[in-house]
Amino acid sequence: MDAWLIAAMALVTYGSRAMALLVLPQPSPGVEAVLARMPAPIFASLATLTLIGEGGRIASVPVLTAAVGALLMTPRRSLAMCLLGGFVGYVAGELVA
């Protein structure tokens, strides 16, 4: 994956979050409780889809190690830490493969 693409994805992710914090009003406590539970299911669905490679086969070693790296960082409940863990896992997988 190209470093510029990763940087662009990070910019879109964090830029949209920053704009939402600046522009949108504070959500009600009920909505906030629902939103607090969303990252884990979203991450799980995205991770599952990326683990399936071409033709329904299991993904390559770097993709698998990236998923493990991101998964290890999920207890921190930080998207940035999950991205960092995934990046480190991907690099480790590239070195192994």
d(CA 35, CA 48): 21
Please check whether residue 61 lies inside any domain of the structure: yes
62 in Cβ contact with 26 (< 8 Å)? no
Residue pair 83/10 in contact by the 8 Å Cβ criterion: yes
Same domain, residue pair 12 and 54: no
**pTM for this entry:** 0.55
Is 24 domain-assigned?
yes
Please list, in sequence order, all residues whose beta carbon lies within 8 angstroms of the beta carbon of residue 43, skipping any fewer than 6 positions away. Answer: 70, 74, 82
Same-domain status, 65 and 24: no
* Predicted confidence (pLDDT) per residue in 12-71, tens digit: 888 888 887 888 888 889 988 877 777 667 767 776 777 887 788 888 899 889 989 988
Q: How many domains does the chain have?
A: 2
Residues 68 and 43 in one domain: yes
Position 33 in a domain: no
Rounded Cα distance between 30 and 28, Å, is 6
Q: Which domain holds residue 66?
A: 38-96
| Distance separating alpha carbons of residues 51 and 21, to the nearest angstrom | 32
